Structure 1
Amino acid sequence: MKPKHAQVHFNENGTPVADHFDDVYFSNDSGIDETQHVFIEGNDLHQRWTSWNKPNFIIAETGFGTGLNFLVVMREFNAFRQANPQHPLKHLYFLTTEKFPLPKKDIEQALSSFPSLGAQASALTKVYPMGLDGCHRLHFEDYATTLDLWIGDVHQLLPQWHSPEDGLVDAWFLDGFAPSKNPDMWTDTLFSQMARLSKDGTSFGTFTAAGIVKRGLASVGFTIKKRPGFGRKRDMLTGSFNANVNNDTPTTEMSEHNSIASESLKTIKSKLRKPEGPYYRYNTAPLCSSSNVVVVGSGLAAATVCLALTKRGVSVTLCFDGDTLAQGASGNPQGGFYPQLHSEASIASRLQAHSFLYARRYYDGIFAAVEDSDTAASRKDASSSNTHDFCGVVQLSFNDKVETRQTKLINNDVWPPELIRHINSKELSDIAGLTLPYEGLYIPSGGWLSPPTLVNDIVDSASATGLLTLKPNHIFERCNKTSEAGETEVVFKSGKRIYADHVVLALGAGAVHSEAFEGLPLRPVRGQVEAIPTQSPIASLKTVLCHKGYMTPAMDGRHALGSTYVKDDLNVEPREEETQQNLSTHEQALAHTDIVSQLNHDNAARAATRLGSPDHQPVVGALHNFTALKPDYADLAIGKPLNQVKTLPNGNVSTLSCLGSRGLTTAPLMAEVLVSSLLQEPLPLNNDLLNAVNTSRFMVREAIRGNM
């Protein structure tokens, strides 16, 4: 999971040079002009944007480097949007790969040579991610641009990009180091994946005119044109993808390679472009700005979906049970915010790590928006003086078993130290503000948040778009399919009905009794959290302490101390026996101190039911009666590949659920996954991680086992 960072030096022109490849990151003559010539003009972007009639334009790049290409195209797109505010093209997606990411300090030094990009460079370096393999989705709302920075080997990453059958990418920036310097990148695998991901007419531009590149692109269906190169380079290559090329329709530019190209394209069409059956996420017509969506739920899952949709210009009606939001598990006054990491880069750990990093950036944006709004002024008179604190999280090494597990996590060197690192007892005590005779792990970006406040802040941000309608006291009963207008009828227990192009059910534990979740193995778990009045010695606690339970610093004079886990229990009345269980758990974990034995508890507690799944991962995607669908996938039991069985049927109902006790960590990224799929945008997770949260995964596993 931890990539090797690039090693660079800066030459006499101030240009960064990659030591490993002995090649410059951009031209010594003018990096900006090179990007304009090779990639902006090479892909005819200004002309194409002007004639574009879709809401998004998607660029893919091989080799992020210093980010110069990205900054230039983001600036150009922003200028286009300002000059054409009513144009149907609203948003730019920039998907880029980098095997050896530059350290932030080198990025800053390299970009300091371009003062005209100062504002864009500052925006990038502010959110530039730590070194962690996988996708880092970064939003630049002031520029109507989203950057997906994929860290890792391009040959491993591109096959993990989820793509519609007719392609994902509109333009390619082929900007790895020169083929003579970096032959490992310019391979048949790269060119085949480009063909898989390209739409008909997708363009490319590259600084190189090497024969291996020309032949490779031609062999998979790209027409090739030479153009004058930049600076001292005589030639460069541009062209476009012809998805329909075959033996009967040769193209002039690739006639010598036509038979090879036809065979390659047949392979791509028959294998690479076929979706993975029930795991395919683009099998319904995409939502658009004229769509209307009903979201049902009152918690963090519902709120994050609402904001993701309204930011894309989609109208949303949010329906919830009570008078106010956050009545269920999202109603706990305080919650710890941190990822659950393991010593191996498992699917569960990777989901946690990327969800956590995305959520931290997301929450930073939410709280910044609150500070800039009228909400901040109104809070000065409220009883709550603080609603979050990114004070870090300490995971205590409180027994030999935990110490062994933590030592393995550090020794395996899977995670960057900026994410999690070992601390000794002195460091731990200094961070915690309490004398604690334990070592442990420290997650500096973690902390605690107030979920009810957070939910309302997110909903307020969605309301500020003018596209959100709130419907309190709407208790969900069922969804009915309608045939004429293609809408879905949402029926509530009061008899009220609302029609929508799409429905997202984020019901939390309420899903347990809903017919809409037929065939999903839901796991409700009751949890009780104590609200301990602040007192000595915990009044000085400055970080979140975790062991088998957790304890937070004070908010409004109380500390959260929890939590119990009682399976299949929907009762939410506080219980004295669970209070004693929580206290006992903390006393055992802190056995070498007398902290817990000194505490006075006035029996203030709150219980709620979280919804989980058997594999403890979220459930994100289309809702169907999976029990009824399972026979359609019986051939999986005899080894039929997923890409040879059919995709899920069309449907207008989806869910974001089963966030369990990690909703603060996972909700923002899972909402982004769901909404991106509903609008057929690029998805911010590897395919294996997308499959791990897919609603159909339980049905697929049962079908493979032959359990019909």
Structure 2
Amino acid sequence: MKSKTATVHFNAAGTPVANDYDDVYFSNDSGIDETRHVFIAGNDLPARWQACEQRSFVIAETGFGTGLNFLVAMQAFQTFRHANPDHPLQHLYFISLEKFPLCRDDMSRALSAFPALQEQARTLDAQYPVAMHGCHRLEFADASVTLDLWMGDAHELLPSWACPSAGLIDAWFLDGFAPSKNPDMWTDALFDQMARLTKVGGSFATFTAAGVVKRGLAASGFTITKRKGFGRKRDMLTGQFTPETEPVREPQPPYSPYTLPTLDTGDHVVIVGAGLAGACCAQMLCEKGIKVTLLEQGQAPAGGASGNPQGGFYPQLHGEASHASQLQAHSFLYARRHYDTLTDAYPVAHDFCGVLQLGFNAASQNRHEKLIAAQLWPETLVTLTDAESTSALAGVPLPFPALSIALGGWLSPPDLIAAMLQSANKTGLLTCLYDTQVREVTETQHNVELVCTNGRHFRGDHLILAPGHQAISLPAFAPVPLRPVRGQVEAVPTTPVLGKLKQVLCHKGYLTPALNGRHALGSTYVKQDTDTSPRQQESAANLTTHQQALSGCDWITSLQHDGQARAAVRLGVPDHQPLCGALGEIDKQRRLYSELQKGKPLSMMPLPTATRISTLTALGSRGLTTAPLMAQTLTSALLGAPLPLPAHLLHAINPNRFIIRDCIRGRQDTR
């Protein structure tokens, strides 16, 4: 999962040069003018933006490098939006691939050569992600721009991009190192993926006029035009995608995330549930111009599992690059960026103080050592500390080594939800209604209609079900193997020693630094129990868990409980991954994919039945970590926008996965 960073040197002109390829990242003459000539003008972007009737435009790039092309495109789009504030085109998505990302210092040094881009460069530097394989979604809200920076080999990553039936990409910046220096990139496989992903009429531009590029693009359905090159380069290539036959867009149709009717500005979405999942979706949809009505059966938001005063914030990593680990790592990094923005703007109780996963016994120490030895995860994400360092980081004596997650900490989920809803409210597009329980849902060809217990009726273009454990009582979830789990968290009073705790401690349970004189200590896990009354026996169980795990610490005996506790019900599923995506009618899906039990491949299956109902739920005890990226994925699918996850991770969270597995096994029910 770690990405190898590029090794570079700077030549006499101050231009970065890749040691592995012996090629410059941009022209010695003027990198910024080269980008404007080759990629901005080569794709005719200002004129195409002016003529665009879509709400978003998508650029894809092979070779992020210093980020120069991205910054020039972002600046150009800012200029366009400033001059055309009421234009239908409102958002730019920029998707870039980079096999060997630059380290932050080298990138900053390279970009310092362009004073005209320093404002944009500072915003990129503030969010520049850790070097880790996969997609890093960065939001530049003030510029109406989203950057998806995919780290890894283009030939592995491009086939993993989900694609709507009409295509995804409007314009390509082909900017890898020269074909003579980097022949492994400029292959038929690249050009075939471009054909799969590009909208008919989409464009490309590239600095090179090499024959292998010209022939490969032509064979894949692109018409080629030769234009004058930049500086000392005589020629460059541009062109359009004009295929003779419609390309096959989706390699595994049953899992396609783009079967939902695409939303547009002015459309209306009804969301059921005002916990973290529902609030995240509401914020992200409103900020993209979609009207949202949020329905909550409780008297206020954050009434369920999202209502605990403090929650530990960290990823659950493993010593192998499992789907679960990859989802956790990328969700955590995206959530941290999202929460940084929220906590800067709104009063959210939090402390990104770090998290220590304690090696409190031989088994946990062995797991931690194997995780670090595998060298999968960047040190920015996780390191191993000895007992002395663990004590220093924690602020209390701890005789254990630990996994240190410096970017983690704790937050107040109710405060986060309030901040998300405030942000959505600023758009004027959010309506929140409480004490409103859904009784009946009817999906028609053009909308979804809801009848609630208070007699109110609602109609929307789409419905998102984010009801937490209340999903177990909704007919739409009847065939899904849901697993409600009760959890009780104690609010223990601080003591002189506990008051010195500086980081979140995790073992079989967790203990947070103090908030308002109390520490969160949890949690119990009682399966198939939906009662939320606090129980003395669970308080005793929580205390015992901590005292046994930390028995080598004298201060643990000072833990006392004075009756303050909160119980809630978390929702999970057997594979412990979220449910995020279309929630299709189960009987239709089973009929549609019945041939899978005969061994037919997924690629031969039809697309799922279109639906106006989707879900984001089953976040289990990891909602603080996963909710923002899952909401971003779902709302992007609803908008027909690029998705920030590769295909295998989209499959892992798709609610359809249980139906598909049943059909493959010839089973009728997994519950």
For the superposition of Structure 1 and Structure 2, which TM-score range results when normalised by the shorter chain?
over 0.9
For each residue in 1:471-520, what CA deviation from the matched residue of structure 2 results, as whole angstroms up to 9, or x when unmatched? 1110122211235xx11111111221111111111000100111121211
Residue 376 of structure 2 is aligned to residue 414 of structure 1: yes
Partner of 1:626: 586
Partner of 1:504: 464
Partner of 1:520: 480
Partner of 2:157: 157
* 1:386-405 matched pairs, under 5 angstroms: 387-405=349-367
TM-fit CA distance, 1:624: 2.4
For 1:318 and 1:227, the matched residues in 2 are separated by 52
* 1:271-286 matched pairs, under 5 angstroms: 272-286=248-262
TM-fit CA distance, 1:5: 0.5
Partner of 1:315: 291
For 2:297 and 2:560, the matched residues in 1 are separated by 36
For 1:159 and 1:38, the matched residues in 2 are separated by 26
**Matched-pair contact (CA < 8 Å) for 2:355–2:406:** yes
TM-score normalized by the length of structure 1: 0.93
* 1:381-530 matched pairs, under 5 angstroms: 387-482=349-444, 486-530=446-490
**Matched-pair contact (CA < 8 Å) for 1:62–1:154:** yes
For 2:307 and 2:257, the matched residues in 1 are separated by 31
* 1:234-273 matched pairs, under 5 angstroms: 234-243=234-243, 245=244, 269=247, 272-273=248-249
The amino acid of 1:594's aligned partner reads D
For residue 321 of structure 2, the aligned residue among 330, 345, 356 is 345
Identity of aligned residues (%): 56
Q: Per the alignment, in what secondary structure is the counterpart of residue 273 of structure 1?
A: coil
**Matched-pair contact (CA < 8 Å) for 1:517–1:625:** no
The amino acid of 1:445's aligned partner reads L
* 1:81-96 matched pairs, under 5 angstroms: 81-96=81-96
Q: Per the alignment, in what secondary structure is the counterpart of residue 542 of structure 1?
A: coil
The amino acid of 2:362's aligned partner reads D
Partner of 2:345: 369
**Matched-pair contact (CA < 8 Å) for 2:94–2:147:** yes
Residue 497 of structure 2 is aligned to residue 537 of structure 1: yes
TM-fit CA distance, 1:639: 1.7
TM-fit CA distance, 1:275: 4.9
Q: Per the alignment, in what secondary structure is the counterpart of residue 548 of structure 1?
A: coil
Q: Per the alignment, in what secondary structure is the counterpart of residue 391 of structure 2?
A: helix
Residue 649 of structure 2 is aligned to residue 701 of structure 1: no
**Matched-pair contact (CA < 8 Å) for 2:305–2:568:** yes
For residue 629 of structure 2, the aligned residue among 660, 669, 677 is 669
Q: Per the alignment, in what secondary structure is the counterpart of residue 660 of structure 1?
A: coil
The amino acid of 1:313's aligned partner reads G
For 2:298 and 2:579, the matched residues in 1 are separated by 24
For 2:249 and 2:296, the matched residues in 1 are separated by 40
* 1:65-144 matched pairs, under 5 angstroms: 65-144=65-144
For 1:600 and 1:634, the matched residues in 2 are separated by 57
The amino acid of 1:65's aligned partner reads G
The amino acid of 1:518's aligned partner reads A
* 1:201-216 matched pairs, under 5 angstroms: 201-216=201-216
Q: Per the alignment, in what secondary structure is the counterpart of residue 595 of structure 1?
A: helix
The amino acid of 2:631's aligned partner reads A
Q: Per the alignment, in what secondary structure is the counterpart of residue 490 of structure 2?
A: strand
TM-fit CA distance, 1:631: 2.9
For 1:524 and 1:124, the matched residues in 2 are separated by 41
**Matched-pair contact (CA < 8 Å) for 2:137–2:644:** yes
Q: Per the alignment, in what secondary structure is the counterpart of residue 410 of structure 2?
A: strand
For each residue in 1:204-232, what CA deviation from the matched residue of structure 2 results, as whole angstroms up to 9, or x when unmatched? 00000000000000000000111111111
**Matched-pair contact (CA < 8 Å) for 1:518–1:625:** no
Moved over 4 A (4+): none
**Matched-pair contact (CA < 8 Å) for 2:136–2:644:** yes
For each residue in 1:596-616, what CA deviation from the matched residue of structure 2 results, as whole angstroms up to 9, or x when unmatched? 222221021100000011100
**Matched-pair contact (CA < 8 Å) for 1:583–1:596:** no
Partner of 1:306: 282
For each residue in 1:400-440, what CA deviation from the matched residue of structure 2 results, as whole angstroms up to 9, or x when unmatched? 11111000000000000000001111111111000111111
Give the length in aligned residue pairs.
668
Partner of 1:199: 199
Q: Per the alignment, in what secondary structure is the counterpart of residue 74 of structure 2?
A: helix
TM-fit CA distance, 1:533: 0.4
For 2:471 and 2:520, the matched residues in 1 are separated by 27
For 2:444 and 2:94, the matched residues in 1 are separated by 37
The amino acid of 1:300's aligned partner reads L
Partner of 2:520: 560
For each residue in 1:302-322, what CA deviation from the matched residue of structure 2 results, as whole angstroms up to 9, or x when unmatched? 000000100100000111112
**Matched-pair contact (CA < 8 Å) for 2:11–2:17:** yes
For residue 508 of structure 2, the aligned residue among 540, 544, 548 is 548
TM-fit CA distance, 1:632: 2.2
For each residue in 1:619-664, what CA deviation from the matched residue of structure 2 results, as whole angstroms up to 9, or x when unmatched? 0011123255313211111221212112221211111000000000
For 2:6 and 2:608, the matched residues in 1 are separated by 43
For each residue in 1:7-26, what CA deviation from the matched residue of structure 2 results, as whole angstroms up to 9, or x when unmatched? 00000111000000000000
For 1:706 and 1:323, the matched residues in 2 are separated by 44
For 1:202 and 1:641, the matched residues in 2 are separated by 31
For each residue in 1:642-696, what CA deviation from the matched residue of structure 2 results, as whole angstroms up to 9, or x when unmatched? 1211222121111100000000000000000000001100000001000100010
**Matched-pair contact (CA < 8 Å) for 1:188–1:216:** yes
Partner of 1:6: 6
**Matched-pair contact (CA < 8 Å) for 1:519–1:625:** no
The amino acid of 2:324's aligned partner reads A
TM-score normalized by the length of structure 2: 0.98
Partner of 1:569: 529
For 1:705 and 1:217, the matched residues in 2 are separated by 41
Listed as ranges, the gaps of 5+ residues in structure 2 are none
The amino acid of 1:568's aligned partner reads Q
For 1:665 and 1:64, the matched residues in 2 are separated by 27
The amino acid of 2:397's aligned partner reads T
For 1:650 and 1:9, the matched residues in 2 are separated by 52
**Matched-pair contact (CA < 8 Å) for 2:584–2:610:** no
